Amino acid sequence: MAFSSVKHSFRETGKFSSLILDYLDDHPALRALHQGLPSVASIKEAIERRRSFPTDRKLLHAALCEQYASVEIGSLIRTQLDSLLEENTYTITTAHQCNVFLGPLYTIFKTLHTIRIAQEMNDQLPDHHFVPVFYLGSEDADIDELNHIHLKGEKLEWQTKQTGAVGRMRIDDDLLRLIDRQSQLLSTLPYGNHWIELINRSYIKDLTLADASFRLLNFLFADRGLIVLQPDRASLKNSIRDLFWEELTNGKSAAGVEYGNTQLLGLGYEPQAHARPINLFYLKEGLRARIEKTEKGWGVANTTHSWDEAGLRAELNEQPERFSPNVILRGVYQETILPNLLYVGGGGELAYWLQLKQVFDSYSVPFPLLQLRASVQWMDLHAAQKMQALGLDQAELFQPPDSILEGKLDDATRAQLNLDDFVADMEANYGQLTKRAASIDPTLQAHVEALRTKAIQKIDALQKKMARAQRRKMSDLRIQIDTLQRAIFPGSGLQERWENIGYYYAQYGPGYINLIYDHLEPFGRSFFWVVEKPDQSN
C-alpha cells in the first residue's frame, strides 16, 4: 500500500462548532475557561499543578491489577501498570462509552492520538513517565446511542431488553449474532478472519459489555502501552465518596456549571450540558436513575428508593459502587483517581469540558489540558482516482455540489454567463435617454426610470436562466460529484462519526492502525486525509 496525507484547518471543513474553532485559535475571551492549549510547556505547568494534588497511586494500581488479571499481559503493560506507583508518572487520558464493537472510527483515532501524545512527552521529558489511558465510560444508560455500528453500508443493531448501565449489560445471543453477520460481510477480505477472531475473543457470552470492550481495546493497543481503566469499581468510588457526599448534600457542581454557561452565553456560544441540583445517578442491576432531593430526604427518580440523611450516608459508605457521576461530575471523578495532565476528546466533549472549569475549582481538583482529538478522513484508491478524474481536490469535497460546480466553470464560460458589461452599457444608454426625454418633458423622467428598472430586472432574470441552463449541462458532473461525496461522507457526515473499524481492519489489517498513528501530530490542530495511491513497487 502507498498513501499520502493532506491537511486542512478544522475551520475549512465546516464540520466544527465556532466554540471549538475559537478554542483552537486561542481566543483570548475563552482563556478563563481552560488551562491553555496543549504543548510541552503547558504540560510542564500541568505537572506542577498536579504535584500539590494527592493521587492514591496504590489504590489505582491495585484496581488496575485486579482488572488486568482477567487477560494475559505482556511485559510492556506490566511495566506501565507498575510505573503508576511512581510519583514522576503521569497519564494522558481519553474516554469513551461502551459502544458495541467500539462504535465509530473516532474511538480509534482518539485512542491513537492519546498514545501519540504520551510517546511525545516521554521523548521530550525523559525525567518523567507518561502513560496513555483509555477511561472506559461504562455507566451510561442510553442504549440506543451505543447499540449499533455501520459496516459496509449496513446497520448492525443489538436488540436487547436489558436495562440500566450499558457497560454492565451481558453479552447475549443477540449480540453474538452480530458477530456472525460481521463474518458474513468481512470474511472474504484479506484480514477479515483476523478481525472476527479478535471480536470473538473479546465478546464472550455472559461477559459484561465493559469487559468485552476492555478486552478488544487491549488486543488492539496493548503493544503501544495503552492502559484501559474500568472506573466502575467499588474501591475507586470509595476513594471519592466524600466528594459524592458533598454533591448529595450541597450540590456545588450546579453553581459551577451555571458559572461556565453564563460565561459562554455572554460570549455568544450555546452551552452543551446543563446541570441538575444533584449530578449523581443511582446504579443497580438494571437501573441507572437520577438521585433527587425530596421532602423527606433523597430519592431515586421513578423508583421507590429513598433515604433520610443517615440512610443515604450508610448507603454511600457501604455501597459506593451504586453512585454514578453524570457528565458534569464524570471528569472530576476521572481526574481524582488518575494522575492526569491532559484529556483528548472530540469537539462535543471539549465543548462541555469548557463549561466545567469552575466545577473542578469548587472541588479543588486540577483541571486538565484539553486536546481536540485527531480527525482523519480515509480515501481509498477508487475514490482518489474518481476525485482526480473529476478535477477536484479534498478541500472542494467539503462544499455542496452546487458550490463545487460553480467553482468548476472555466473563465470563458463564466465570462459568457456574466452580463455585467451589458448592464453597464444599458445603464449608460438609459442615462442618455433620461436626459433626452427630460429635455422634452420633465414628467417623462419617471417613466424612463421605470423602463430602466424593468429592463435591468429582465437582464438579471436572463442571467439566472443562463446559469441554470449551464448547470443543467453539467448535471452529469453533479451526479458524479454527489455519488463521490456520498461514498466519502456516509450519512452526510464525517466518515469517522459513522463507520466502524471492522471494515478497515478487515481490509488493511494492523497496517491501518499503524498508518493512522504514523500521520498523527501530538498537538496537531489540523484535519487530515489519508489518501491511497497506486502501488508503484511493481
* Domain limits, the chain: 395-493
Q: What is the pLDDT of residues 160-201, one digit of tens each?
A: 999 999 999 999 999 999 999 999 999 999 999 999 999 999
pLDDT band at 293 (very low <50, low <70, confident <90, very high): very high
Average the pLDDT over 52-75 and give the result: 96
Rounded to whole angstroms, the Cα distance separating 446 from 452 reads 10
Whats the size of the chain, residue-wise? 538
**Quick one: DSSP state of residue 16?**
S
Average the pLDDT over 487-491 and give the result: 91
Q: What pLDDT, on a 0 to 100 scale, did the predictor assign at position 413? A: 63
List residues bridging with 7 in a β-sheet. Answer: 528
Q: What are phi and psi of 209, to 5 degrees?
A: -65, -35
Q: What pLDDT, on a 0 to 100 scale, did the predictor assign at position 439? A: 83
| 433: pLDDT strictly greater than 60 | yes
CA angle 440, 441, 443 (to 5 degrees): 155
| 207: pLDDT strictly greater than 80 | yes
Pick from 406, 431, 402: nearest CA to 417: 406
401-408 and 475-488 are packed helices; what angle lies between their axes, rounded to 10 degrees?
130
Rounded to whole angstroms, the Cα distance separating 469 from 252 reads 63
| Residue-averaged pLDDT of the chain | 93
Say how far residue 366 (Cα) sits from the centre of its chain. 23
Pick from 131, 171, 128, 124: nearest CA to 147: 171
Q: What pLDDT, on a 0 to 100 scale, did the predictor assign at position 355? A: 96
Q: What pLDDT, on a 0 to 100 scale, did the predictor assign at position 417? A: 62
Rounded to whole angstroms, the Cα distance separating 258 from 262 reads 6
pTM: 0.88
Pick from 106, 109, 93: nearest CA to 149: 106
Rounded to whole angstroms, the Cα distance separating 219 from 212 reads 11
| 412: pLDDT strictly greater than 60 | no
Q: What is the pLDDT of residues 217-249, one digit of tens each?
A: 999 999 999 999 999 999 999 999 999 999 999
Contact at 8 Å (CB) between 389 and 361?
no
pLDDT band at 466 (very low <50, low <70, confident <90, very high): confident
